[in-house]
Amino acid sequence: MLLGIFRKFSIISMFWTIVLFITVTIIAFFFQELASDPTLNIAMLYTLGAFITARYTEGYLYGFIYTLASVFSVNYFFTYPYGLVNFTMRGYYVTFIGMFVIGIITSILSTNIKEQSIVLLNQEKALAKKEKQILEIQKEKMRANLLRAVSHDLRTPLTGIIGNSLSYLDMEEELSSQEKRELIENINTDASWLLNMVENLLSVTRIDNVTAQVNKTLEAVDEVISAAVIKFKKHFPEAKVKVSVPDDLIMAMMDAMLIQQVILNILQNAYIHSKSTKPLELTVNVDEDNIWFKIKDYGIGISEDRLLNIFDGTGKRKEKEQLDGHKGMGIGLSICKTIISAHSGKITAQNHSEGAEFIFSLPKEKEEK
């Protein structure tokens, strides 16, 4: 313990210890004429100086030196007989011992608090650095997943467009009107799918590249849902969607365009992959902390191996999906997860007894100022 106290020596800390001791002693001389019990009050003044010394110096040494000097100073300058060091007078030794003990304890406690504050500050810095590293890893993983999904989901529709258009150009005279129409419909379907993926990619650019956050405003949930469903119906006029929201007006902090894109992506995936003609269900529920969006279909469900990583674009595709890439789930759901994460929400997928269900949440927040 003693070795630890005297191990480090700082000229600056020693300088300020001496300056503080001299300052307190000068103040004590003026204080002596005013106080009714000068010895006790001056001792308290020196004790306060011990606390200040420990606060603004490094380690225990300087508080110990200051306290020891203070005990002798009170005895020499402010205790009768003045100008002499005398600890034998009746009752005085109690004051001096008490002052010394209080000064040492004060110095130790204040030094420990200061060292703990430094440790906590370093821990906070390390935690912030670790969080930044985790964020960078997540961003790199997101980029890799998007590139992987794009490489598959863009290549196959383009191949289909090129193949169908070449078939039409090379065999225009031999094809019947029905065959020509089928080729044009295939081209239109692939082009629409490509347009949807471009919209998905553009939506990612609205997410801040440094903080992975979005600019949120207070929006009415029912209006955002309505806009997404209208857009979905334009792409799939024959699709049916049952929407259920609470009667009370629900406001949430969000980027409305991005949340519309999430709802649109999930509705499209549910409609295309469920292989069911039953209406989709979109339900909104509210609890104390979150707003929950649930999109349910009544179809074939999702295979268990795909559920494990359906949002990162690495899920295994069945052979039929690989041959017809524009029917893959990859990029759309990857972007859904990115958008919801940027909103500090959660997104999950699961099967129910009659199909599949996607659930995502937005935290209930106050409007940002």
Structural domain ending residue among the three candidates 126, 153, 179: 126
Closest CA to 282 of 196, 353, 358: 358
333 in the same domain as 229: yes
Structural domain ending residue among the three candidates 65, 98, 126: 126
Residue 262 CA: distances (Å) to CA of 287, 299, 322: 21, 20, 24
Q: Do the domain assignments include residue 175? A: no
236 in the same domain as 359: yes
Q: Do the domain assignments include residue 318? A: yes
Q: Do the domain assignments include residue 184? A: no
249 in the same domain as 369: yes
SS (H, E, C) the chain: CHHHHHCCCCHHHHHHHHHHHHHHHHHHHHHHCCCCCHHHHHHHHHHHHHHHHHHHCCCCHHHHHHHHHHHHHHHHHHCCCCCCCCCCCCCHHHHHHHHHHHHHHHHHHHHHHHHHHHHHHHHHHHHHHHHHHHHHHHHHHHHHHHHHHHHHHCHHHHHHHHHHHHHHHHCCCCCCHHHHHHHHHHHHHHHHHHHHHHHHHHHHCCCCCCCCCCCCEEEEHHHHHHHHHHHHHHHCCCCCEEEECCCCCCEEEECHHHHHHHHHHHHHHHHHHHCCCCCEEEEEEECCCEEEEEEECCCCCCCHHHHCCCCCCCCCCCHHHHHCHHHCCHHHHHHHHHHHHHCCCCEEEEEECCEEEEEEEEECCCCCC
Q: Do the domain assignments include residue 17? A: yes
369 in the same domain as 221: yes
368 in the same domain as 225: yes
> What is the predicted pLDDT for the residue at 30?
77
Global pTM value: 0.54
Q: Is the pLDDT of residue 92 over 70?
A: no
211 in the same domain as 84: no
- Between strands 280-286 and 355-363, the pairing is unpaired
349 in the same domain as 241: yes
Total domain count, the chain: 2
Q: Is the pLDDT of residue 54 over 70?
A: yes
CATH of the domain at 344: 3.30.565.10
- Structural domain boundaries, residue 289: 206-369
Q: Do the domain assignments include residue 265? A: yes
29 in the same domain as 119: yes
Q: How confident is the model at residue 43 (pLDDT cuts 50, 70, 90)?
A: confident
With a pLDDT cut of 70, the percent of the chain lying above it is: 76
Structural domain ending residue among the three candidates 111, 126, 141: 126
Integer Cα distance of 47 and 38 in angstroms: 14
pLDDT in tens, 315-349: 444 444 443 444 454 567 888 888 898 888 999 99
> What is the predicted pLDDT for the residue at 7?
47
pLDDT in tens, 181-206: 888 888 887 887 777 777 767 766 66
80 in the same domain as 221: no
